[in-house]
Amino acid sequence: MFRNQYDNDVTVWSPQGRIHQIEYAMEAVKQGSATVGLKSRTHAVLVALKRAQSELAAHQKKILEVDNHVGISIAGLTADARVLCNFMRQECLNSRFVYDTPLPIARLVSLVGNKKQIPTQRYGRRPYGVGLLIAGYDEKGPHVYQTCPSASVFDCKAMSIGARSQSARTYLERRLDQFLDGQDLFLSVHFHHPIYFHEYFCACDISTVSSMHVVDLSRFPVTIFCPFLADLDDLVKHGLRALRETLPNDQDLTTKVCAASAHLGSLHLGDCCSSENGI
Amino acid sequence: MDSYLCPVERKFAPYSFNGGTVLSIAGKDYAIIAADTRLSRDASIILSRDVVRSHQLTNKTFLGICGFHGDSSALIKIVKTRLKVYEHDNGKQMPTIGVAAMLSTILYGRRFFPFYCHCIVCGLDENGMGVMFGYDAVGSYSMSSYGAVGTGTAMIRPLLDDVISHTNTDLNMTVSISLDEALQILHDVANAAAERDVCIGDAFLIHIITKHGVKEEKFTLRRD
């Protein structure tokens, strides 16, 4: 009703105590395609649904590597996400260069939060129109964080953002204890079409896996040999199932639209391997 | 106590001489880099017997540096960071010739206060052939199939000239040598240099880069 009077600048409060520009920016995140982040005791995984502008265009990259131990998945304005990703990369590189240590995720996330807050309180600027899911592994274990255009930062057990992400969140809420405690429950779910290509980001401590697994994972399909990685396998499956919840009924996940890149601890295994892999 | 009534000379000595030698042989499908592990100061005291001079940059490229160890550590950090940035921007690892060109610009960037580092970049190029680049302190570089830098250069290079490319002999042609032959040559040459040069010794750390990966070998020398 009175929204229109108070929504021109980010520096204007509404009588209800809201800043509409920030809320409009959050809408931009809801326009982006869905992405899911979840973690177990040993791994943090991001899964994302890629969208193509048109039939001619390639599917938009949704998962970006920030460092060996951190990755982000984006929903919203891709250009804003790129800028934030560059910033995060710089910070991570700086930490490695100066302190010879990977940047702890909590610290990285607070740096991003502070950076995002600045344009929400400055006349003439606009909030970053992108929500990030930040997944990483540091000394304290795996983490999944969510950030909003409002610059709030949430530490999550699992999260989904983007279009129709509520269904994914419901799925994750229901099955939280199945993957969070690292129980290796195998769920068999049959998809109508096989999922050919996963792009997922996974960060974990390198000490939980031997070099053998590194080799295996780098050439998808992922047929996991080690019991440790059964954790990862199930985690990714949960992520993909959650993602599937966000699709309209007539569509299914295919390799072209699913995005992930695997990292293990300090080793970079390479992005987006494509090969057939049915679940 | 110093007198403040007249000019006092101070010596600004930003460099230290840490000795050591790095040598490299690049063949048809392999590249070997060997670096000694003795860290000395001013050719008079041994600071360490197991310092690492050859650093892996990618799965195909090694960088060996000798000279001043402080500058060498700083240089390797800079190179590794730049490599990371390249990976982020390009989605792939920097090829060996890219590393070589980049190192030249990094070194020349400090033309007026150089890194006291003599470098060798060695590895496989995009076609799987071994390549090696030798540098001076300010970034002048060239590609060759063998080389040495450090205190042992004057002793090692003529030896390699004779054995690998047979220059200055009647034969005067480069013979293609196999990996095992190259390792044998390296072994003998390293030994020879270590016997005569005080700054070289303790052990040689050898890295063999082939398309199958990187293999590390170490052979120890006399600790004198």
Query: pLDDT digits over B199-220, tens only?
Result: 999 999 999 999 999 999 999 9
Residue-range definition of the domain harbouring residue B58:
28-220
Contact call for residues A175 and A183 (beta carbons, < 8 A): no
Residue B11 lies in a domain: no
Please tell me if residue B91 touches chain A, with a CB cutoff of 8 Å. Answer: yes
> Residue B75's closest chain A neighbor by CA?
A97
Residue A276 lies in a domain: no
Mutate to test the interface with A, among B86, B87, B88, B89 (most CBs of A within 10 A): B88
Interface of A with B (CB under 8 A): 65, 89, 93, 96-97, 268, 271
Name the band, by pLDDT with cuts 50, 70 and 90, for residue A231.
low
pLDDT of res. B1: 58
Question: What residue ranges in chain B does DSSP mark as E strands?
Answer: 21-26, 30-36, 39-41, 45-48, 54-56, 61-67, 117-124, 130-135, 141-144, 146-150, 203-210, 213-220
Question: Chain A residues with CB inside 8 Å of B81's CB?
Answer: 93, 96-97
Q: Around Cβ A110, how many Cβ atoms within 10 Å?
A: 13
Residue B8 lies in a domain: no
pLDDT of res. A238: 86
User: pLDDT by residue (tens digit) across A76-87?
Assistant: 999 999 999 999
Residue B47 lies in a domain: yes
CATH number of the domain within which B177 lies: 3.60.20.10
Contact call for residues A70 and A105 (beta carbons, < 8 A): yes
The mean predicted confidence, pLDDT, of chain A is 76
Instruction: Say which residue, B140 or A177, is predicted with more confidence.
Output: B140
Question: Chain B residues with CB inside 8 Å of A97's CB?
Answer: 77, 81
Helix (H/G/I), strand (E/B), else coil: A213: helix
d(CA B30, CA B23): 14
CATH number of the domain within which A252 lies: 3.60.20.10
Residue A15 lies in a domain: no
Residue B6 lies in a domain: no
Instruction: Answer whether A93 sits within 8 Å of B85, measured CB to CB.
Output: yes
Please tell me if residue B59 touches chain A, with a CB cutoff of 8 Å. Answer: no
Number of domains in chain A: 1
Distance from CA of A93 to the nearest CA of B (A): 7
Residue A197 lies in a domain: yes
DSSP β-bridge partners for residue B205: B35, B218
pLDDT of res. A132: 96
Instruction: Answer whether A268 sits within 8 Å of B88, measured CB to CB.
Output: no
Q: Is the ipTM of this complex over 0.90?
A: no
Tell me if the bond preceding A221 is cis, omega within 30° of 0.
yes
Name the band, by pLDDT with cuts 50, 70 and 90, for residue A244.
confident
Please tell me if residue B85 touches chain A, with a CB cutoff of 8 Å. Answer: yes
Instruction: Answer whether B81 sits within 8 Å of A268, measured CB to CB.
Output: no
Please tell me if residue B7 touches chain A, with a CB cutoff of 8 Å. Answer: no
Residue B33 lies in a domain: yes
Number of domains in chain B: 1
Exposed/middle/buried for A115, CB within 10 Å: 0-12, 13-18, 19+? middle
Residue A3 lies in a domain: no
Distance from CA of B125 to the nearest CA of A (A): 19
Residue A20 lies in a domain: no
User: pLDDT by residue (tens digit) across A140-192?
Assistant: 989 999 999 999 999 999 999 999 999 999 999 998 888 776 443 332 222 23
d(CA B147, CA A12): 68
d(CA A12, CA A152): 19
User: pLDDT by residue (tens digit) across B16-45?
Assistant: 999 999 999 999 999 999 999 999 998 889
Distance from CA of A192 to the nearest CA of B (A): 33
Residue A248 lies in a domain: yes
Residue A190 lies in a domain: yes
Residue B9 lies in a domain: no
Residue-range definition of the domain harbouring residue A151:
34-269
